[in-house]
Structure 1
Amino acid sequence: MPASPDRQAVEIEGHRLSLSHLDRVLFPASGHTKAQVLHYYAQVAEVLLPHATGRPASFVRAPEGLTGQSWVAKNPPGGVPGWVSVVPVEHREGVTEQVVIDSAAALVAMVNLGAYEVHVPQWTAAAGPDAHDRLVLDLDPGPGADLVLCCRVAQRLRQLLDDDGLTAHAVVSGAKGLHLYAALCPTSGRAASAYAKELAGRLQGEHPGLVVASMARAARRGKVFIDWSQNASAKTTAAPYTVRLRERPGVAAPVGWDEVAACESPEELAFTPEEVLDRIAAHGDPLAPLTGDDTRRPLP
Protein backbone atom coordinates (compact mmCIF):
# COMPACT_ATOMS: atom_id res chain seq x y z
CA MET A 1 0.00 0.00 0.00
CA PRO A 2 1.50 3.37 -0.96
CA ALA A 3 2.47 5.48 2.03
CA SER A 4 0.69 8.78 2.58
CA PRO A 5 0.99 11.40 5.28
CA ASP A 6 -2.36 10.29 6.76
CA ARG A 7 -2.03 6.52 6.40
CA GLN A 8 0.78 4.04 6.90
CA ALA A 9 1.15 0.26 6.79
CA VAL A 10 3.28 -1.16 9.60
CA GLU A 11 4.23 -4.59 10.86
CA ILE A 12 4.24 -5.20 14.62
CA GLU A 13 5.16 -8.57 16.10
CA GLY A 14 4.42 -10.25 12.78
CA HIS A 15 1.03 -8.59 12.35
CA ARG A 16 0.38 -6.11 9.58
CA LEU A 17 -1.67 -3.04 10.45
CA SER A 18 -2.94 -0.17 8.34
CA LEU A 19 -2.74 2.91 10.55
CA SER A 20 -5.17 5.60 9.42
CA HIS A 21 -6.02 9.27 10.01
CA LEU A 22 -2.51 9.87 11.36
CA ASP A 23 -2.74 13.64 10.94
CA ARG A 24 -6.01 13.92 12.88
CA VAL A 25 -5.59 16.30 15.83
CA LEU A 26 -7.04 14.49 18.84
CA PHE A 27 -6.21 17.13 21.46
CA PRO A 28 -6.63 20.65 20.06
CA ALA A 29 -5.22 22.36 23.17
CA SER A 30 -1.87 20.57 22.87
CA GLY A 31 -1.91 19.74 19.17
CA HIS A 32 -1.32 16.03 19.76
CA THR A 33 -2.20 14.00 16.68
CA LYS A 34 -3.28 10.41 16.35
CA ALA A 35 0.21 9.57 15.05
CA GLN A 36 1.76 10.90 18.27
CA VAL A 37 -0.66 8.93 20.44
CA LEU A 38 0.00 5.75 18.45
CA HIS A 39 3.74 6.33 18.82
CA TYR A 40 3.34 6.73 22.57
CA TYR A 41 1.43 3.47 22.93
CA ALA A 42 3.91 1.57 20.75
CA GLN A 43 6.76 2.84 22.93
CA VAL A 44 5.02 2.36 26.30
CA ALA A 45 3.64 -1.10 25.55
CA GLU A 46 6.55 -2.88 27.23
CA VAL A 47 5.66 -1.43 30.65
CA LEU A 48 1.91 -1.13 30.14
CA LEU A 49 1.31 -4.76 29.14
CA PRO A 50 2.22 -6.40 32.50
CA HIS A 51 -0.54 -4.34 34.14
CA ALA A 52 -3.18 -5.16 31.50
CA THR A 53 -2.36 -8.57 30.02
CA GLY A 54 -4.92 -11.23 30.84
CA ARG A 55 -7.53 -8.72 32.03
CA PRO A 56 -10.70 -8.20 29.97
CA ALA A 57 -10.41 -4.61 28.83
CA SER A 58 -12.95 -1.91 28.23
CA PHE A 59 -12.13 1.27 26.39
CA VAL A 60 -13.11 4.89 26.09
CA ARG A 61 -13.46 5.33 22.36
CA ALA A 62 -13.32 8.73 20.71
CA PRO A 63 -12.46 8.20 17.02
CA GLU A 64 -12.69 11.92 16.26
CA GLY A 65 -10.75 12.97 19.37
CA LEU A 66 -12.01 15.48 21.92
CA THR A 67 -14.14 17.33 19.37
CA GLY A 68 -16.28 14.27 18.63
CA GLN A 69 -18.36 11.78 20.54
CA SER A 70 -16.84 9.48 23.16
CA TRP A 71 -18.28 6.41 24.85
CA VAL A 72 -17.28 3.40 26.95
CA ALA A 73 -17.01 0.24 24.86
CA LYS A 74 -16.79 -3.29 26.22
CA ASN A 75 -17.55 -5.26 23.07
CA PRO A 76 -14.83 -5.35 20.39
CA PRO A 77 -15.52 -2.65 17.79
CA GLY A 78 -15.90 -3.38 14.13
CA GLY A 79 -12.59 -3.73 12.37
CA VAL A 80 -10.73 -5.52 15.18
CA PRO A 81 -8.22 -7.91 13.57
CA GLY A 82 -9.04 -11.59 14.04
CA TRP A 83 -5.75 -12.24 15.83
CA VAL A 84 -6.61 -9.90 18.72
CA SER A 85 -7.47 -12.03 21.77
CA VAL A 86 -10.98 -11.92 23.20
CA VAL A 87 -12.49 -13.63 26.25
CA PRO A 88 -16.10 -14.21 27.34
CA VAL A 89 -17.14 -12.13 30.35
CA GLU A 90 -20.40 -12.52 32.22
CA HIS A 91 -22.27 -9.29 33.01
CA ARG A 92 -25.73 -8.68 34.43
CA GLU A 93 -26.99 -8.18 30.90
CA GLY A 94 -25.46 -11.47 29.73
CA VAL A 95 -22.17 -12.83 28.42
CA THR A 96 -20.12 -10.59 26.14
CA GLU A 97 -16.74 -10.90 24.50
CA GLN A 98 -14.05 -8.43 25.52
CA VAL A 99 -10.60 -7.72 24.17
CA VAL A 100 -7.53 -8.72 26.14
CA ILE A 101 -4.52 -6.48 25.57
CA ASP A 102 -1.80 -9.13 25.52
CA SER A 103 0.64 -7.69 22.99
CA ALA A 104 1.96 -4.42 21.62
CA ALA A 105 0.28 -5.27 18.33
CA ALA A 106 -3.13 -5.66 20.00
CA LEU A 107 -2.66 -2.38 21.88
CA VAL A 108 -1.77 -0.45 18.74
CA ALA A 109 -4.61 -2.09 16.81
CA MET A 110 -7.16 -0.92 19.39
CA VAL A 111 -5.73 2.60 19.56
CA ASN A 112 -5.87 2.74 15.77
CA LEU A 113 -9.63 2.13 16.08
CA GLY A 114 -10.01 5.14 18.37
CA ALA A 115 -9.87 3.22 21.68
CA TYR A 116 -7.63 5.74 23.40
CA GLU A 117 -8.27 4.91 27.06
CA VAL A 118 -7.68 1.39 28.39
CA HIS A 119 -9.53 0.29 31.54
CA VAL A 120 -9.15 -3.07 33.28
CA PRO A 121 -10.56 -4.89 36.33
CA GLN A 122 -8.49 -6.06 39.27
CA TRP A 123 -8.75 -9.71 38.21
CA THR A 124 -7.60 -11.76 35.24
CA ALA A 125 -9.81 -13.71 32.87
CA ALA A 126 -7.93 -16.92 33.65
CA ALA A 127 -8.50 -16.67 37.41
CA GLY A 128 -11.97 -15.16 37.16
CA PRO A 129 -13.77 -12.40 39.05
CA ASP A 130 -13.60 -14.29 42.36
CA ALA A 131 -9.81 -14.01 42.41
CA HIS A 132 -8.84 -10.34 42.62
CA ASP A 133 -5.06 -9.97 42.70
CA ARG A 134 -4.96 -6.20 43.18
CA LEU A 135 -6.56 -3.75 45.56
CA VAL A 136 -7.24 -0.26 44.21
CA LEU A 137 -8.23 2.94 46.00
CA ASP A 138 -9.28 5.83 43.78
CA LEU A 139 -8.68 9.19 45.48
CA ASP A 140 -10.99 11.67 43.80
CA PRO A 141 -10.87 15.35 44.85
CA GLY A 142 -14.27 16.97 45.27
CA PRO A 143 -15.03 20.62 44.41
CA GLY A 144 -12.53 22.86 46.20
CA ALA A 145 -10.01 20.04 46.69
CA ASP A 146 -7.17 19.03 44.38
CA LEU A 147 -4.39 16.53 43.74
CA VAL A 148 -2.24 18.04 46.50
CA LEU A 149 -4.83 17.08 49.09
CA CYS A 150 -5.07 13.64 47.48
CA CYS A 151 -1.33 13.26 48.03
CA ARG A 152 -1.66 14.07 51.73
CA VAL A 153 -4.47 11.54 52.09
CA ALA A 154 -2.47 8.98 50.12
CA GLN A 155 0.44 9.23 52.53
CA ARG A 156 -1.79 8.30 55.46
CA LEU A 157 -3.43 5.50 53.46
CA ARG A 158 0.02 4.15 52.69
CA GLN A 159 0.72 3.94 56.42
CA LEU A 160 -2.57 2.18 57.13
CA LEU A 161 -1.98 -0.30 54.32
CA ASP A 162 1.54 -0.94 55.57
CA ASP A 163 0.16 -1.60 59.06
CA ASP A 164 -2.06 -4.24 57.47
CA GLY A 165 0.87 -5.85 55.63
CA LEU A 166 0.09 -4.38 52.21
CA THR A 167 2.50 -2.35 50.06
CA ALA A 168 0.96 0.69 48.37
CA HIS A 169 1.98 1.95 44.92
CA ALA A 170 0.87 5.40 43.72
CA VAL A 171 -0.36 6.26 40.21
CA VAL A 172 -1.64 9.70 39.24
CA SER A 173 -4.90 9.08 37.43
CA GLY A 174 -4.12 11.37 34.52
CA ALA A 175 -7.33 13.24 35.33
CA LYS A 176 -7.74 14.92 38.74
CA GLY A 177 -6.88 12.31 41.33
CA LEU A 178 -4.61 9.51 42.44
CA HIS A 179 -4.85 5.72 42.42
CA LEU A 180 -3.28 3.51 45.06
CA TYR A 181 -2.64 -0.15 44.26
CA ALA A 182 -1.56 -3.06 46.42
CA ALA A 183 -0.83 -6.62 45.29
CA LEU A 184 -3.09 -9.24 46.87
CA CYS A 185 -3.19 -12.97 47.26
CA PRO A 186 -6.25 -13.90 45.20
CA THR A 187 -9.44 -12.95 47.02
CA SER A 188 -13.05 -12.26 46.14
CA GLY A 189 -14.24 -8.90 44.91
CA ARG A 190 -16.64 -8.78 47.82
CA ALA A 191 -13.79 -9.19 50.32
CA ALA A 192 -11.60 -6.62 48.55
CA SER A 193 -14.45 -4.11 48.43
CA ALA A 194 -15.31 -4.68 52.09
CA TYR A 195 -11.73 -4.11 53.16
CA ALA A 196 -11.37 -0.99 50.97
CA LYS A 197 -14.64 0.41 52.32
CA GLU A 198 -13.56 -0.21 55.91
CA LEU A 199 -10.19 1.42 55.24
CA ALA A 200 -11.85 4.48 53.67
CA GLY A 201 -14.24 4.73 56.61
CA ARG A 202 -11.34 4.44 59.04
CA LEU A 203 -9.58 7.40 57.45
CA GLN A 204 -12.79 9.42 57.29
CA GLY A 205 -13.11 8.83 61.03
CA GLU A 206 -9.59 10.20 61.54
CA HIS A 207 -10.01 13.21 59.25
CA PRO A 208 -13.72 13.94 58.69
CA GLY A 209 -12.94 17.42 57.40
CA LEU A 210 -10.66 16.10 54.65
CA VAL A 211 -11.89 12.64 53.69
CA VAL A 212 -15.24 11.20 52.69
CA ALA A 213 -16.10 7.55 52.02
CA SER A 214 -19.74 8.15 51.11
CA MET A 215 -21.01 7.86 47.56
CA ALA A 216 -23.14 11.00 48.08
CA ARG A 217 -21.69 13.70 45.84
CA ALA A 218 -23.03 16.47 48.07
CA ALA A 219 -20.65 15.34 50.83
CA ARG A 220 -17.49 15.73 48.74
CA ARG A 221 -16.99 19.50 48.64
CA GLY A 222 -13.50 20.40 49.85
CA LYS A 223 -12.71 16.75 50.56
CA VAL A 224 -11.08 13.73 48.97
CA PHE A 225 -13.51 10.94 48.15
CA ILE A 226 -11.89 7.52 48.60
CA ASP A 227 -13.69 5.43 46.01
CA TRP A 228 -13.51 1.90 47.39
CA SER A 229 -16.17 0.61 44.98
CA GLN A 230 -13.74 0.08 42.10
CA ASN A 231 -12.81 -3.22 43.76
CA ALA A 232 -16.19 -4.66 42.76
CA SER A 233 -15.73 -7.35 40.14
CA ALA A 234 -17.90 -5.46 37.63
CA LYS A 235 -15.83 -2.26 37.91
CA THR A 236 -12.71 -1.23 36.01
CA THR A 237 -9.97 1.35 36.59
CA ALA A 238 -7.87 3.27 34.09
CA ALA A 239 -4.89 1.03 33.41
CA PRO A 240 -1.44 2.27 34.42
CA TYR A 241 0.15 4.17 31.52
CA THR A 242 -3.08 4.68 29.59
CA VAL A 243 -3.69 8.07 27.98
CA ARG A 244 -6.67 9.95 29.40
CA LEU A 245 -9.04 11.95 27.21
CA ARG A 246 -8.84 15.34 28.84
CA GLU A 247 -8.27 18.83 27.41
CA ARG A 248 -4.61 17.93 27.25
CA PRO A 249 -3.52 14.29 27.04
CA GLY A 250 -2.87 13.17 30.60
CA VAL A 251 -1.43 9.79 31.47
CA ALA A 252 -2.13 7.43 34.37
CA ALA A 253 1.50 7.54 35.44
CA PRO A 254 3.19 5.78 38.39
CA VAL A 255 4.90 8.19 40.78
CA GLY A 256 7.32 7.70 43.64
CA TRP A 257 6.36 8.30 47.24
CA ASP A 258 9.00 11.01 47.42
CA GLU A 259 7.14 12.81 44.61
CA VAL A 260 3.84 12.36 46.42
CA ALA A 261 5.31 13.82 49.61
CA ALA A 262 6.86 16.79 47.79
CA CYS A 263 3.81 17.70 45.65
CA GLU A 264 2.74 21.32 46.18
CA SER A 265 0.67 21.85 43.03
CA PRO A 266 -1.26 19.52 40.71
CA GLU A 267 0.90 20.56 37.77
CA GLU A 268 3.94 18.93 39.37
CA LEU A 269 2.40 15.48 38.86
CA ALA A 270 0.74 16.05 35.48
CA PHE A 271 2.68 14.37 32.70
CA THR A 272 2.41 14.39 28.94
CA PRO A 273 2.92 11.14 27.03
CA GLU A 274 6.37 12.32 26.01
CA GLU A 275 7.32 13.08 29.62
CA VAL A 276 6.15 9.63 30.70
CA LEU A 277 8.39 8.00 28.09
CA ASP A 278 11.30 10.08 29.38
CA ARG A 279 10.56 8.95 32.95
CA ILE A 280 10.52 5.31 31.87
CA ALA A 281 13.81 5.71 30.01
CA ALA A 282 15.39 7.18 33.13
CA HIS A 283 13.82 5.02 35.85
CA GLY A 284 12.03 2.04 34.31
CA ASP A 285 8.63 1.03 35.67
CA PRO A 286 8.32 1.87 39.38
CA LEU A 287 5.08 -0.14 39.39
CA ALA A 288 6.82 -3.38 38.33
CA PRO A 289 6.75 -4.90 41.86
CA LEU A 290 2.95 -4.88 41.68
CA THR A 291 3.03 -7.70 39.11
CA GLY A 292 5.31 -10.09 41.00
CA ASP A 293 3.85 -13.16 42.70
CA ASP A 294 6.25 -12.72 45.61
CA THR A 295 4.74 -9.31 46.47
CA ARG A 296 1.17 -10.56 46.94
CA ARG A 297 -0.16 -10.41 50.48
CA PRO A 298 -3.44 -11.58 52.03
CA LEU A 299 -6.05 -9.14 53.23
CA PRO A 300 -5.92 -8.73 57.01
Structure 2
Amino acid sequence: MTPITEVEGRRLPLSNLDKVLYPATGTTKGELLHYYAITAGVLLPHLHLRPVSFLRYPDGPDGQLFFTKNPPPGTPDWVMTAPVPRSDDPSARQVVIQDLPSLMWAANLVVEFHTPQWRSDAPAVADRLVFDLDPGSPATVVECCRVALRLRERLAEDGLVAYVKTSGAKGLHLLVPLVPTPSEEVSAYARRLAVEAEAELPSLVVHRMAKKLRPGKVFVDHSQNAAAKTTATPYTLRARRTPAVSTPVTWEEVEACTDPGQLVFLLEDVAPRVGMYGDLLAPLFDTRGAGSLP
Protein backbone atom coordinates (compact mmCIF):
# COMPACT_ATOMS: atom_id res chain seq x y z
CA MET A 1 0.00 0.00 0.00
CA THR A 2 1.30 3.46 -0.92
CA PRO A 3 1.56 5.61 2.22
CA ILE A 4 -0.39 8.88 2.24
CA THR A 5 1.29 11.88 3.81
CA GLU A 6 -0.36 15.21 4.54
CA VAL A 7 1.74 18.24 3.64
CA GLU A 8 0.26 21.62 4.54
CA GLY A 9 -3.25 20.27 4.12
CA ARG A 10 -2.58 18.40 0.86
CA ARG A 11 -2.74 14.60 0.84
CA LEU A 12 0.20 13.10 -1.06
CA PRO A 13 0.83 9.47 -1.95
CA LEU A 14 4.59 8.93 -1.51
CA SER A 15 5.62 5.69 -3.17
CA ASN A 16 8.55 3.24 -2.98
CA LEU A 17 10.29 5.01 -0.10
CA ASP A 18 12.77 2.15 0.39
CA LYS A 19 13.76 2.00 -3.28
CA VAL A 20 17.49 2.54 -3.78
CA LEU A 21 17.96 5.28 -6.36
CA TYR A 22 21.72 5.78 -6.05
CA PRO A 23 23.37 2.34 -5.78
CA ALA A 24 26.85 3.82 -5.28
CA THR A 25 25.77 5.28 -1.93
CA GLY A 26 22.66 3.24 -1.16
CA THR A 27 20.58 6.42 -1.12
CA THR A 28 16.85 5.68 -1.12
CA LYS A 29 13.86 7.55 -2.44
CA GLY A 30 12.82 8.25 1.14
CA GLU A 31 16.15 10.00 1.73
CA LEU A 32 15.66 12.01 -1.48
CA LEU A 33 12.25 13.16 -0.28
CA HIS A 34 13.66 14.04 3.13
CA TYR A 35 16.37 16.11 1.44
CA TYR A 36 13.82 18.18 -0.47
CA ALA A 37 11.66 18.64 2.63
CA ILE A 38 14.52 20.05 4.70
CA THR A 39 15.92 22.27 1.92
CA ALA A 40 12.55 23.62 0.75
CA GLY A 41 13.20 26.94 2.48
CA VAL A 42 16.13 27.75 0.18
CA LEU A 43 14.97 25.86 -2.91
CA LEU A 44 11.43 27.22 -3.27
CA PRO A 45 12.48 30.87 -3.83
CA HIS A 46 14.56 29.72 -6.83
CA LEU A 47 11.50 27.94 -8.26
CA HIS A 48 9.07 30.79 -7.56
CA LEU A 49 7.09 31.73 -10.68
CA ARG A 50 9.55 29.89 -12.95
CA PRO A 51 8.11 27.25 -15.30
CA VAL A 52 9.76 23.95 -14.44
CA SER A 53 11.13 21.36 -16.82
CA PHE A 54 11.69 17.93 -15.30
CA LEU A 55 14.45 15.45 -16.02
CA ARG A 56 12.85 12.32 -14.59
CA TYR A 57 14.87 9.32 -13.39
CA PRO A 58 12.37 7.14 -11.51
CA ASP A 59 14.69 4.11 -11.48
CA GLY A 60 17.81 6.06 -10.58
CA PRO A 61 20.53 7.50 -12.81
CA ASP A 62 21.27 4.07 -14.33
CA GLY A 63 17.66 3.65 -15.46
CA GLN A 64 15.64 5.44 -18.09
CA LEU A 65 15.99 9.24 -18.12
CA PHE A 66 13.47 11.43 -19.90
CA PHE A 67 13.03 15.19 -20.12
CA THR A 68 9.58 16.73 -20.05
CA LYS A 69 8.24 20.26 -20.14
CA ASN A 70 4.55 19.30 -20.08
CA PRO A 71 2.78 18.64 -16.77
CA PRO A 72 3.11 14.89 -16.10
CA PRO A 73 -0.03 12.74 -16.34
CA GLY A 74 -1.91 12.80 -13.07
CA THR A 75 -0.71 16.26 -12.03
CA PRO A 76 -3.05 17.35 -9.21
CA ASP A 77 -5.35 20.26 -9.99
CA TRP A 78 -3.90 22.20 -7.05
CA VAL A 79 -0.43 22.26 -8.62
CA MET A 80 0.01 25.59 -10.37
CA THR A 81 0.70 25.70 -14.10
CA ALA A 82 1.43 28.65 -16.34
CA PRO A 83 1.09 29.18 -20.10
CA VAL A 84 4.38 28.76 -21.92
CA PRO A 85 3.49 28.86 -25.64
CA ARG A 86 5.79 26.94 -27.97
CA SER A 87 5.98 26.85 -31.74
CA ASP A 88 4.83 23.22 -31.71
CA ASP A 89 2.10 23.85 -29.11
CA PRO A 90 0.72 27.39 -28.69
CA SER A 91 -1.46 26.23 -25.77
CA ALA A 92 1.39 24.57 -23.84
CA ARG A 93 1.56 24.96 -20.07
CA GLN A 94 4.25 24.03 -17.55
CA VAL A 95 4.28 23.30 -13.85
CA VAL A 96 5.23 26.12 -11.49
CA ILE A 97 6.34 24.91 -8.04
CA GLN A 98 5.06 27.47 -5.54
CA ASP A 99 4.80 25.66 -2.22
CA LEU A 100 5.94 22.67 -0.18
CA PRO A 101 3.12 20.31 -1.24
CA SER A 102 3.91 20.96 -4.93
CA LEU A 103 7.62 20.44 -4.27
CA MET A 104 7.04 17.12 -2.52
CA TRP A 105 4.63 15.98 -5.22
CA ALA A 106 7.29 16.69 -7.87
CA ALA A 107 10.09 15.14 -5.80
CA ASN A 108 8.04 11.95 -5.51
CA LEU A 109 8.30 11.66 -9.31
CA VAL A 110 12.13 11.65 -8.89
CA VAL A 111 13.18 14.60 -10.98
CA GLU A 112 15.89 17.14 -11.60
CA PHE A 113 14.46 20.67 -11.57
CA HIS A 114 15.39 22.90 -14.50
CA THR A 115 14.22 26.50 -14.87
CA PRO A 116 14.63 29.36 -17.38
CA GLN A 117 16.25 32.71 -16.64
CA TRP A 118 12.82 34.41 -16.66
CA ARG A 119 9.59 34.19 -14.69
CA SER A 120 6.15 33.17 -15.88
CA ASP A 121 4.83 36.70 -15.30
CA ALA A 122 7.43 38.09 -17.75
CA PRO A 123 8.17 35.43 -20.40
CA ALA A 124 11.44 35.83 -22.32
CA VAL A 125 12.47 38.78 -20.12
CA ALA A 126 15.47 37.60 -18.13
CA ASP A 127 16.17 38.68 -14.58
CA ARG A 128 19.47 36.81 -14.51
CA LEU A 129 22.32 35.84 -16.79
CA VAL A 130 23.95 32.41 -16.64
CA PHE A 131 27.20 30.87 -17.81
CA ASP A 132 27.49 27.08 -17.67
CA LEU A 133 31.17 26.14 -17.42
CA ASP A 134 31.61 22.58 -18.64
CA PRO A 135 35.08 20.96 -18.60
CA GLY A 136 36.23 18.67 -21.37
CA SER A 137 38.40 15.84 -20.05
CA PRO A 138 41.15 15.92 -18.88
CA ALA A 139 40.08 19.38 -17.68
CA THR A 140 38.02 19.37 -14.47
CA VAL A 141 36.19 21.79 -12.24
CA VAL A 142 39.63 23.09 -11.21
CA GLU A 143 40.02 24.63 -14.66
CA CYS A 144 36.40 25.82 -14.48
CA CYS A 145 37.33 27.75 -11.35
CA ARG A 146 40.08 29.60 -13.23
CA VAL A 147 37.64 30.55 -15.96
CA ALA A 148 34.95 31.52 -13.43
CA LEU A 149 37.31 33.90 -11.67
CA ARG A 150 38.22 35.60 -14.95
CA LEU A 151 34.57 35.90 -15.99
CA ARG A 152 33.76 37.36 -12.59
CA GLU A 153 36.38 40.06 -13.19
CA ARG A 154 35.10 40.73 -16.70
CA LEU A 155 31.50 41.02 -15.53
CA ALA A 156 32.60 43.41 -12.77
CA GLU A 157 34.14 45.66 -15.41
CA ASP A 158 30.58 46.11 -16.72
CA GLY A 159 29.17 46.69 -13.24
CA LEU A 160 27.71 43.19 -12.91
CA VAL A 161 28.03 40.97 -9.83
CA ALA A 162 28.40 37.21 -10.30
CA TYR A 163 27.50 34.40 -7.92
CA VAL A 164 28.52 30.79 -8.35
CA LYS A 165 27.27 27.27 -7.75
CA THR A 166 28.35 23.81 -8.72
CA SER A 167 26.39 22.30 -11.58
CA GLY A 168 26.03 19.09 -9.60
CA ALA A 169 27.75 17.38 -12.52
CA LYS A 170 31.30 18.30 -13.61
CA GLY A 171 31.31 22.07 -13.81
CA LEU A 172 30.15 25.41 -12.44
CA HIS A 173 27.31 27.84 -13.07
CA LEU A 174 27.78 31.60 -12.83
CA LEU A 175 24.62 33.58 -12.13
CA VAL A 176 24.25 37.34 -12.45
CA PRO A 177 21.14 39.25 -11.25
CA LEU A 178 19.83 41.63 -13.91
CA VAL A 179 17.34 44.39 -14.29
CA PRO A 180 14.69 42.64 -16.43
CA THR A 181 16.12 42.50 -19.94
CA PRO A 182 14.88 40.77 -23.13
CA SER A 183 16.42 37.30 -23.35
CA GLU A 184 17.73 38.04 -26.85
CA GLU A 185 19.85 40.90 -25.51
CA VAL A 186 21.17 38.82 -22.62
CA SER A 187 22.03 36.00 -25.00
CA ALA A 188 23.97 38.33 -27.30
CA TYR A 189 25.92 39.85 -24.40
CA ALA A 190 26.74 36.44 -22.89
CA ARG A 191 27.96 35.16 -26.23
CA ARG A 192 30.17 38.21 -26.66
CA LEU A 193 31.83 37.59 -23.29
CA ALA A 194 32.32 33.91 -24.07
CA VAL A 195 34.02 34.80 -27.37
CA GLU A 196 36.21 37.32 -25.53
CA ALA A 197 37.18 34.71 -22.95
CA GLU A 198 38.26 32.29 -25.68
CA ALA A 199 40.32 35.00 -27.38
CA GLU A 200 42.00 35.89 -24.10
CA LEU A 201 42.52 32.30 -22.89
CA PRO A 202 42.67 30.19 -26.06
CA SER A 203 44.42 27.25 -24.39
CA LEU A 204 41.75 27.07 -21.67
CA VAL A 205 38.41 28.30 -23.06
CA VAL A 206 36.16 27.36 -25.95
CA HIS A 207 32.83 29.05 -26.66
CA ARG A 208 31.50 26.55 -29.21
CA MET A 209 29.82 23.28 -28.34
CA ALA A 210 31.58 21.03 -30.88
CA LYS A 211 33.08 18.10 -28.97
CA LYS A 212 36.23 18.02 -31.09
CA LEU A 213 37.13 21.49 -29.76
CA ARG A 214 36.60 20.72 -26.09
CA PRO A 215 39.20 18.20 -24.81
CA GLY A 216 41.27 19.82 -22.08
CA LYS A 217 39.29 23.07 -22.24
CA VAL A 218 36.34 24.67 -20.50
CA PHE A 219 33.27 25.16 -22.65
CA VAL A 220 31.70 28.49 -21.69
CA ASP A 221 28.11 27.69 -22.56
CA HIS A 222 26.26 30.96 -23.08
CA SER A 223 23.29 29.36 -24.86
CA GLN A 224 21.23 28.80 -21.71
CA ASN A 225 20.32 32.49 -21.76
CA ALA A 226 18.04 31.85 -24.73
CA ALA A 227 14.39 32.11 -23.73
CA ALA A 228 13.70 28.48 -24.65
CA LYS A 229 16.61 27.07 -22.62
CA THR A 230 16.80 26.06 -18.97
CA THR A 231 19.48 25.50 -16.33
CA ALA A 232 19.61 23.14 -13.37
CA THR A 233 17.94 24.95 -10.48
CA PRO A 234 20.00 25.71 -7.37
CA TYR A 235 19.74 22.88 -4.81
CA THR A 236 18.36 20.32 -7.27
CA LEU A 237 19.66 16.78 -6.98
CA ARG A 238 21.19 15.47 -10.19
CA ALA A 239 20.82 12.12 -11.91
CA ARG A 240 24.46 11.21 -11.40
CA ARG A 241 26.31 8.18 -10.01
CA THR A 242 26.08 9.71 -6.54
CA PRO A 243 23.36 12.03 -5.11
CA ALA A 244 25.20 15.22 -6.05
CA VAL A 245 23.47 18.56 -5.61
CA SER A 246 23.83 21.78 -7.59
CA THR A 247 25.22 23.69 -4.62
CA PRO A 248 25.97 27.39 -4.11
CA VAL A 249 29.60 27.99 -3.15
CA THR A 250 31.67 30.94 -2.02
CA TRP A 251 34.20 32.67 -4.22
CA GLU A 252 36.79 31.77 -1.59
CA GLU A 253 36.04 28.10 -2.23
CA VAL A 254 36.44 28.67 -5.96
CA GLU A 255 39.78 30.43 -5.44
CA ALA A 256 41.05 27.65 -3.18
CA CYS A 257 39.99 24.72 -5.38
CA THR A 258 42.93 22.50 -6.35
CA ASP A 259 41.10 19.16 -6.53
CA PRO A 260 37.71 18.32 -8.10
CA GLY A 261 36.54 16.59 -4.93
CA GLN A 262 36.61 19.89 -3.08
CA LEU A 263 33.54 21.06 -4.99
CA VAL A 264 31.42 17.93 -4.87
CA PHE A 265 28.47 18.15 -2.48
CA LEU A 266 26.03 15.31 -1.82
CA LEU A 267 22.55 15.62 -0.38
CA GLU A 268 23.75 15.15 3.20
CA ASP A 269 26.21 18.04 2.81
CA VAL A 270 23.71 20.72 1.89
CA ALA A 271 21.74 21.30 5.10
CA PRO A 272 24.93 21.93 7.14
CA ARG A 273 26.13 24.38 4.48
CA VAL A 274 22.82 26.21 4.54
CA GLY A 275 23.07 26.34 8.32
CA MET A 276 26.55 27.85 8.00
CA TYR A 277 26.08 30.22 5.06
CA GLY A 278 22.35 30.59 4.51
CA ASP A 279 21.48 30.76 0.83
CA LEU A 280 24.60 32.06 -0.92
CA LEU A 281 22.42 32.88 -3.92
CA ALA A 282 19.90 34.96 -1.96
CA PRO A 283 21.33 38.18 -3.50
CA LEU A 284 19.74 37.08 -6.79
CA PHE A 285 16.38 38.10 -5.29
CA ASP A 286 17.45 41.58 -4.19
CA THR A 287 16.50 43.93 -7.01
CA ARG A 288 18.80 46.60 -5.56
CA GLY A 289 21.76 44.47 -6.63
CA ALA A 290 20.51 43.79 -10.15
CA GLY A 291 22.73 45.13 -12.92
CA SER A 292 22.05 46.50 -16.36
CA LEU A 293 23.83 45.31 -19.47
CA PRO A 294 26.24 47.85 -20.97
How far apart are the structure 1 equivalents of 2:189 and 2:8?
41
How far apart are the structure 1 equivalents of 2:38 and 2:4?
17
How far apart are the structure 2 equivalents of 1:122 and 1:37?
26
* 2:215 equivalent in structure 1: 221
Alignment of structure 1 residues 80-229 onto 2, 5 Å: 80-95=75-90, 96-114=92-110, 116-129=111-124, 131-229=125-223
SS of the residue corresponding to residue 196 of structure 1 reads helix
TM-score (norm 2): 0.97
Verify the 8 A CA contact 1:42 1:108 in the aligned structure 2: yes
* 2:47 equivalent in structure 1: 52
- Percent identical across equivalent pairs? 51
RMSD: 1.0
Structure 2: gaps spanning 5 or more residues: none
Q: Structure 1: which amino acid aligns with 2:243?
A: P
How far apart are the structure 2 equivalents of 1:125 and 1:31?
37
Deviation, structure 1 residue 143: 2.1
Deviations 1:121-177 (A, max 9, x none): 000010111x10000000000121100000011001000011111100001000000
SS of the residue corresponding to residue 138 of structure 2 reads coil
TM-score (norm 1): 0.96
Q: Which has the higher strand share?
A: 1
Q: How many residues align?
A: 293
Verify the 8 A CA contact 1:79 1:113 in the aligned structure 2: no
2:32 to 25, 37, 49: 37
Deviation, structure 1 residue 51: 1.1
SS of the residue corresponding to residue 138 of structure 1 reads strand
Runs of 4+ deviating beyond 3 Å = none
How far apart are the structure 2 equivalents of 1:8 and 1:171?
35
* 1:78 equivalent in structure 2: 73
Deviation, structure 1 residue 290: 0.8
How far apart are the structure 1 equivalents of 2:264 and 2:7?
30
